[in-house]
Structure 1
């Protein structure tokens, strides 16, 4: 529908005529229709509150975020809205409409998105940018006490919040895990068919958010700005917001960027209680900036290539493309030296069909240069996990595959079984047993509605990982140094037993041989000081990581926690300080609600500190660790002072931060603690 036709939807009455005349004279005027109602045509001289990256541009456009990375911006209507007629009554109906445009620096990549929200306060200073969209942070996402209702306009697929894609609209209740979401688009009023929209197209769009206080229903519609409001909403969810929203609340907009910046513009915004928002007068909204595009070649070419010729070229090209694609789709990279590993090599075609073509709905997780998919091998009736690892260099691949095959011979109840591998150009695929309950870190730091592990389960997990490391260090035919022991690499089977996985950084040595110096790899927060200084991994560097892991499971905290003021809290130092003050049990995860065995808790905390001692000569071997956990040996007498000796001086964190402020060192294989 054209802009001219769209104006026929304006209500023809005296008030509308007055509103239009006023808008012509004052294009950035905010009209106070009644209590709890407003309408902004641009934002010059408006009464809105802006913070963060948000700024009102000279032409009246509101820029919520610019192309700067890791930024957030907010705008609030200055006066809070009374949502209930009186206390203890239900939230009344309300509607809001927003004309916006998102212009990223790249045509195919947005970051991260924007929201309309209703919140009890205009202070969102503790909210984070990136995937948190300027609304929540690590600690309060999913916390019902935030009392925030939001509609997200999201342009990034975030697996942490189970997003459906990188171009969707979602309804959020105190949590960025949407209660409902749908790919961006609209239902055509004539045909009823669904039409997709690209949120990062740079074109103006309008979104309508309607809450029916009687029917307890939330409706969200989206359309290009040149069209009228679709009859059928994009999203419609039954939800009583009376259980969420406060009597008086602020309405606002937010936007956030991540590693890539993006410009989020707002041209107009309206809000109305107990009635629909009026349509915008198109001509008086500020224009979006023009997107720079490559110059047209139409002036260079004197005539248009005949349609028949173009069609023929297209069909020939398509035929060649499909032919080559079919040949390459299941192509593998095989070399003569791989013959000896034949029984351990799996067909890429089998893995492709097992994961339904590595579709996103089979994606279990991502990290660094790898993606993990769930699959099902129809021939063996076996559920598997397939890890795709980028491996561009051919140097050292023979030794790497040999070690992968060797690790595939490991057999222990607390180690994830490696079933085999497959190799393509620039890519290595590792196939493991599938663990239905996922990784341990999701239970320690994941969604608030996920099962809380009790103490019996946690202590069994600590013993299980210790048993697996003992097998790797001393009970197998070779010494295996894992080099990346952490909660995210511990998987849980159907009975919640721990299995140590991800041997991508592991190294094998014959018993009695000297450990070789290697590139620095591992995760910040789990790195032993001597590993940082000399790059020499040993069983005792695994013991150090195990100590951090034991504290992580016991306390329910990450090894390094980032505070709002950019300071860092080290878990080890925190536990030692509590022990020094005689209150070490205060370090226990509060979600356990004091339901744990005191003796086992003391043992887990002190063992974690002893294993993570900065001096490798002080750390116990995994054999001794198992003896302590089984109470076959008495735990040595140690004091907080023993644990504090040399710790701050030898902490690996300063070494790593000097070269990686964001926690990741790609060249050396380091990753941030998760």
Structure 2
């Protein structure tokens, strides 16, 4: 009897799992949740328009400024967009589309400025692209549209607006929620004052819930004070078939604007769950083997869930809670392969010292061979003593390199997290790094000219991709010969993205805050970085110039020529004397193309210009290398480094003090180079050999 009862219980469980599986196969969801916002957790996943930023643990959709707000807050429009597009509808036949359901909630506040009329408002938006707000989209246009575009069906947006200004022509009042379709003239509105809600009330925090039913084609908007439960009745409810209005693949985000009236628009937390639409099925019959697969899959899913829970509990007991790390990894678009620790341990012969490829500030790299595939790999083990920083290093590098796709970048194969050890697995580069071939001694064959030229071409192509062709601008921040790897055909592969950061959209620089100084390696760091503490695309180009010169000259950027601290100064002297080609590596014994060498040397000088704004952009760099355009004409003397340069600083003001130096290092009486910033993160010899 006991066995029979257990048997019936087992059958009932299988039937329950079967019906659960039927429902879940129809609707799989993607969810992300952020309880606050930092530069680290918004990094590569959010696009920020020109007037938006992340500060004070919040998304600031329009500028957050207390300095002369009448100068910084007037007539602004901003957008912050989650930069992964979602499929929001699918064609079913010639007349009907299937729409995805979604639920989102977010907490926001609108902070009025004392003694100033507030305006204009904030919107949650579904947008077709990651583009900047249209020109003149300030004022009542909420960063969504403008006078010319408003109402155009090609706008392809839907927004839920929270408006704080009454536009006489179309708004009910200055405190309402509205449904906007391709226009800021709302299709439906609800006044919020009768609901006890005032949007711009002394930075009062509100939570908004937006539920969209893709099958029933209805959108519901709920709103309450932060901490109050979701109301039973929506503030706004409207029929809506989004497939008729938005692009099939669209983006979610926020937009806001000010006019001559201004306020601060802050999003403090955001949760999103969206249905993943299944691929269309060719037939509707459910065969017996389908059922079996569903049931087995469900059981496997339960077993996996149980394993994950038990693993989590075991780790929690030993004081290692990986939930944040694992959650971040699982949320990465196209998450790379997770390797078993025992597989990597075996591949590296238990991380044998004899298989060590290099060591730097963030970790150690080992050569390994994956037994099953007989594939050579490079395994990077993160090893900073500070466990939190070590985890941050791991996530920074993984979240950057995971989404980059270019033939001249070292390919990430996967990751591993086991018992506190953090590992990344990269494609192995059999010819090592560029610096080993340039400076490795007699045991390394001399790099011929054609290979040097090809390597520089590959690095330029990779840098152009990072700065201009990826959906966000990525600043590498540690470009140097030891981070340029060479594959079996001696093609360049740019590697080590431990310091790289994705910039906020249309921002020009990334301020380093966790290393306490300027990251990088002496000789490759642009002079302005020691004063701004920021890495930029221009500072990447300075490092690229150093790489070009050392590849052509066969000398390190910290020059070994008597009387010169830096290679670029020696090259400039030869240029002034009309002997530029004398800078080419003597070991080549004249076996090089003189025109190509001249072009590269002038390019290296141009990229090494002390003024950041004078350095060529990467698209021009590529054209120069291919001979499509001439390199810039360089003056006979290297211009002095002047600080501050003739650009407006982050606060919009121009300093009047000026410092001029012939080099960006001062010199002690003994001639030892002194860095202006004593906190600069100059690499140790070990870092130079590995990164």
Q: TM-score w.r.t. structure 1 length?
A: 0.47
TM-score (norm: length of structure 2): 0.46
